[in-house]
Amino acid sequence: MAVAASAPTRALGIVGGVLVWCGTTIRIMARNKAGFIGFIIVAVMTIEAFIAPIFINFNTAADVNAIYQGPSLHHLLGTDSEGRDVFTQILVGGQDILEVGYLASAFGTFLAILLGILSAYAGGWLDTFLTWVADVFLTLPTFAIYAVIAGTVHLNSNVALAILIAVFSWAGLMRAIRSQVLSLRERDFIEAARALDLSLPHIIFKELAPNMAPYIAIHFVIGITAAMYAEVGLLLLGIVPLSGQNWGVMLNFAWTRGAIFYSGSLSYILSPMAVIVIFQLALIVWTRSLSEVFDPRLRRGA
């Protein structure tokens, strides 16, 4: 009975710890008002992008009597080339864009952490080889490579597109992580871990990675912006499948169907651009608060 009763207790303890951590983190972020506003915008737009498609049934049927109408009470942002409501498309069109952005940044950041720490910690020929590979990747014209691969391989899922972007986005962070690890590996706590014969994965993920959390977190956020721009660029050019309804597809349709030639379509063209820019700006501003969250030296009595 004692063993059975301890499981719920541990679960409650974990939940309580998570809630306390979340509350402390929010209080720290709130100290930087600009950064906290950025966080609120990112959180609201992310939640809306994933929840809206569940509750909003977007009507894909064309209405030839409402093509390229300007903003009105019935259509707040006007209509597109098929007479469909632009505002509804904005509400339901963020999920794919944000999903690829988050996944690509997560994959790329994880790869950079793993290779950067492994390169610096192992040293020798492995360090030389991984550094050389990173240098090669840094010189590649990434978007041109995205276009070639996406035009050759059928990327029929968000995960596949995210992996493609991540594979070519890790080198810069990897070099920075390597430089930091070269300094950290001579510290006393790493020497103690070696003396205790702790495994390499333990040293990498339990000892080294937490000490680089501020830089990693900020790079992850910035990586989301780069991944989103890459995805939208590929969608705009029509190189990846134009499946579903998202902001990138809206831009492609606006370009290929001649929306620029209609005076009433200005809101249709600018709306997806505006939401992408607002989300990107909010991400960048959010990094101001992230610095305080992960760097105790910047906290002021949290």
pLDDT in tens, the chain (302 residues): 444 446 667 766 676 766 776 777 778 777 778 888 989 999 999 999 999 888 887 777 777 787 888 888 888 888 888 888 888 889 988 888 999 999 999 999 999 988 888 888 777 888 899 999 999 999 988 888 888 888 788 777 888 889 999 999 888 889 988 888 888 777 777 778 778 777 777 777 777 777 788 888 888 988 999 999 998 988 888 888 776 678 888 888 888 887 878 777 888 888 899 999 999 999 998 888 877 777 655 555 44
pTM over 0.75? The answer is yes
Residues contacting 226, CB < 8 A, separation 6+:
105, 169
Residues linked to residue 31 through DSSP beta bridges, in sequence order = none
Q: Which of 251, 257, 256, 258 is nearest to 232 (CA)?
A: 251
Portions of the chain given CATH number 1.10.3720.10:
99-228
pLDDT of amino acid 6? 65
CA–CA gap between residue 228 and residue 53 (Å, rounded): 19
Q: Which residues pair with 79 in a beta bridge?
A: 85
Superfamily of domain 99-228: MetI-like (1.10.3720.10)
Write out pLDDT tens, residues 84-132.
888 888 998 888 899 999 999 999 999 998 888 888 877 788 889 999 9
HSE value, Cβ hemisphere, 13 Å, CA-based, for 296: 2
Q: Cβ distance 84 to 60 under 8 Å?
A: yes
